[in-house]
């Protein structure tokens, strides 16, 4: 496995990959890697000749400076995990390398940008769009891998690819969960053992809600029930629980759309967690 800190060095290596007509898979991450990230690496390895993982805690997608400061960093462990999981190339740029000047370009995504995560984290998707388009330009991967864990981000990137005409095959991987159902997340590192156990209720509430919805219960009453579940949990604060279509992420109450997502954001102590479950009609 080779690790690169600069665009120049990475580009030299990628030129060799392209010259040999090998396919490449990019897995963009913010580090503090866990089995969720590694599932993307595994999928890339099974579909591409060369797997590239980027590790970059992108400051432009954090609307909360404290969240950025406290984001877990475990680079040595990340590199060991990637090596033992067969990753070929790792790109670990500095902020200066990715943003030599303060970016002024504005990428906006229309309605999807202002729903759910976009509404609760203003500027978040602009930052995501900026870093991912920069990574696509630098790396020009054949395929790029993203998790359903960040379902709205996935569709933001789909829009970026479709509207910019970027030549990359977008791949989506299912959510990897802890044994208690909690979606794996780098932010879980910041939970106490008690909070981690308690946070299992997030996925339980999603599963319960999905069952109710598919058996015909109307969303508003499911939503109220979910709100009640979290009112009964000390130290947990439900930020949103919504049923949305996955085009613009606007709220829906029925199944006219092909793919529906139940999306949730919960603050567990000081840690903000998101999760979702899909319903197909």
* Active-site annotation, residues: 37
Residue 87 binds ligand AMP, judged by CB under 6 A: no
Q: Which is nearer to ligand AMP, 80 or 231 (CB)?
A: 80
Binding ligand AMP by CB under 6 A: which of 89, 173, 201, 268?
A: 173
The Cα–Cα gap between 36 and 177 comes to: 8
The Cα–Cα gap between 95 and 58 comes to: 8
The Cα–Cα gap between 40 and 173 comes to: 6
Residue 176 binds ligand AMP, judged by CB under 6 A: yes
Residue 277 binds ligand AMP, judged by CB under 6 A: no
Site for ligand AMP in 218-257 (CB under 6 A): none
Residue 98 binds ligand AMP, judged by CB under 6 A: no
Q: Which is nearer to ligand AMP, 7 or 135 (CB)?
A: 135
Binding ligand AMP by CB under 6 A: which of 38, 40, 266, 268?
A: 40
How many CB atoms within 10 Å of residue 49?
14
CA 158, 178, 67, 62: dihedral to nearest 10 degrees?
Answer: 0
- CA angle (177 as vertex; 180, 55 as ends), nearest 5: 140
- CA angle (231 as vertex; 228, 235 as ends), nearest 5: 150
Quick check: 141 and 25 in contact, CB under 8 A?
A: yes
Query: What number of chain residues touch ligand AMP (CB under 6 A)?
Result: 17
Q: Which is nearer to ligand AMP, 32 or 244 (CB)?
A: 32
The residue among 160, 216, 187 whose CA lies nearest residue 32 is 187
Residue 92 binds ligand AMP, judged by CB under 6 A: no
Q: Which is nearer to ligand AMP, 64 or 221 (CB)?
A: 64
The Cα–Cα gap between 185 and 165 comes to: 31
The distance of closest approach from Cβ of residue 186 to ligand AMP in the complex, given in angstroms and rounded to an integer, is 5
Beta strands 271-280 and 259-268, pairing class: antiparallel
Binding ligand AMP by CB under 6 A: which of 41, 184, 262, 273?
A: 184
Site for ligand AMP in 133-172 (CB under 6 A): 146-147, 149-150
Binding ligand AMP by CB under 6 A: which of 25, 36, 93, 127?
A: 36
The terminus-to-terminus CA distance of the chain in angstroms comes to 43
Residue 127 binds ligand AMP, judged by CB under 6 A: no
Residue 39 binds ligand AMP, judged by CB under 6 A: yes
The window from 42-50, 99-107, 184-192, 194-202 that contacts ligand AMP (CB under 6 A) reads 184-192
The Cα–Cα gap between 241 and 191 comes to: 21
Q: Given the rule CB under 6 A, which residues bind ligand AMP?
A: 29-30, 36-37, 39-40, 146-147, 149-150, 173, 175-176, 183-186
């Amino acid at each position: 496995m080779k690790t690169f800190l600069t665009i120049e060095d990475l580009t030299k290596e990628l030129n060799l990959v392209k010259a040999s007509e090998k396919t490449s898979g990019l897995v963009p991450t913010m580090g503090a890697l866990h089995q969720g990230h590694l599932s993307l690496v595994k999928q890339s390895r099974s579909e591409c000749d060369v797997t590239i993982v980027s590790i970059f805690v992108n400051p432009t997608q954090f609307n909360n400076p404290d969240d950025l400061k406290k984001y877990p960093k475990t680079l040595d462990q990340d590199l060991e995990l990637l090596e033992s999981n067969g990753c070929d190339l790792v790109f670990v740029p500095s902020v200066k390398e990715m943003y030599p000047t303060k970016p002024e370009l504005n990428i906006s995504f229309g309605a999807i940008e202002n729903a759910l995560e976009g509404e609760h984290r203003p500027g978040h998707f602009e930052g995501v769009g900026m870093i991912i388009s920069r990574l696509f330009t630098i790396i020009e991967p054949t395929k790029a891998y993203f998790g359903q864990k960040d379902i709205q981000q996935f569709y933001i990137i789909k829009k970026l690819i479709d509207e910019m005409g970027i030549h990359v095959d977008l791949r989506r991987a299912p959510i990897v969960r802890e044994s208690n159902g909690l979606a794996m997340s780098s932010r879980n590192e910041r939970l106490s053992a008690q909070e981690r156990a308690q946070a299992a209720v997030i996925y339980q509430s999603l599963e319960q809600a999905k069952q109710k919805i598919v058996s015909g219960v109307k969303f508003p009453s499911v939503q109220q029930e979910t709100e009640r579940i979290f009112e009964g949990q000390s130290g947990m604060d439900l930020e949103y629980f919504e049923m949305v279509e996955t085009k613009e992420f606007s709220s829906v109450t029925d199944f006219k759309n092909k793919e529906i997502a139940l999306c949730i954001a919960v603050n567990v102590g000081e840690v903000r967690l998101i999760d979702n479950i899909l319903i197909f009609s």
